[in-house]
Amino acid sequence: MKIAVIFAILMVSATAGMAQDRMTESLRKGVVEEESKHNLDAAIQNYKAAISQFDEARQVAATALFRVAECDRKLGRSYDAIAAYKRVAQEFADQRKLADDSRAILASTYHDVSAAGITATPEQTKLTRQEQQKNEQARKVYQHTLEEEVKIALSQLNVAQERFKGGVAGMPEVTRARMDLVRAQEKLDSFNAGLTQIPPMRKR
């Protein structure tokens, strides 16, 4: 995955660099045609080519920044993702689709309807509420799962201790059960304190 991301970044960088070179060359040719050869029609064609290449470079940059935001979102780095999406929406507003997609994600995923001057539509407000309800329900379900893990670990520890008292099991079994309980309790405490998030659902 890391190799693929690095390769994509290198490809985007190379493309942006080539676009920059072409734009500079078109501009240089335009100046030569205008100032040295006094061929204004040819100069205009070169200047238009430079403008077109500038637009291409902006599209590449906007796409790269949007992909960065998407990667941060998938990795759970909300702060970085929000910052990148806002940059796309604000600095590349002329790249309409990417800017609109960024605003939509900010509103629906991060409930940030104020980003880049966004005004929440009734549909976005409804979607935001639905997402909040889903998130809250998912939190309750996951919290219940962690609580059940603690109960199971505690039960297993009690069994291990009884087995130890009866001479059926050794101290290592009790120690393992105690460590399982500690880990389960730490997961629950960490989640309740807001230090961990709900893990992504596995694809079946």
Question: pLDDT digits over 22-50, tens only?
Answer: 778 888 888 888 888 888 888 888 888 87
Q: How confident is the model at residue 21 (pLDDT cuts 50, 70, 90)?
A: confident
Side chain identity, residue 14: A
Cα distance between residue 94 and residue 103, in whole Å: 13
Confidence check: pLDDT of 173 > 60: yes
User: Taking Cα atoms as reference points, which of 170, 184, 175 lies closest to residue 157?
Assistant: 175
Decide if pLDDT at 8 tops 50: no
Question: For residue 144, what pLDDT is reported?
Answer: 87
Residue 101 confidence (pLDDT)? 92
Res 85 pLDDT > 50: yes
C-alpha R_g of the chain? 28
Backbone angles phi, psi at 87, to 5 degrees: -65, -40
Q: What local confidence, expressed as pLDDT, does residue 182 receive?
A: 86
Q: Where are the domains of the chain?
A: 2-117, 123-192
Highest mean pLDDT range out of 7-21, 109-123, 158-172? Answer: 158-172
Which two three-digit tokens encode residue 126? Answer: 């409804």
Residue 156 pLDDT exceeds 50 = yes
Q: How far apart are CA 122 and CA 204, in angstroms?
A: 34
d(CA 97, CA 95): 6
Task: Using the predicted structure, report yes or no on whether residue 134 has a pLDDT greater than 80.
Answer: no
Q: Report how far apart, in Å, the C-alpha atoms of 157 and of each of 165, 166, 183 are.
A: 12, 14, 13
pTM to 2 decimal places: 0.44
Confidence grade of residue 123 (pLDDT, cut at 50, 70, 90): low
Please give the sequence-ordered ranges of beta strands (E in DSSP) within 33-180, or none if there are none.
Answer: none
Q: How many residues in the chain?
A: 204
**Euclidean distance between CA atoms 65 and 95, whole angstroms:** 12
Distance between CA 200 and CA 204 in Å, rounded?
12
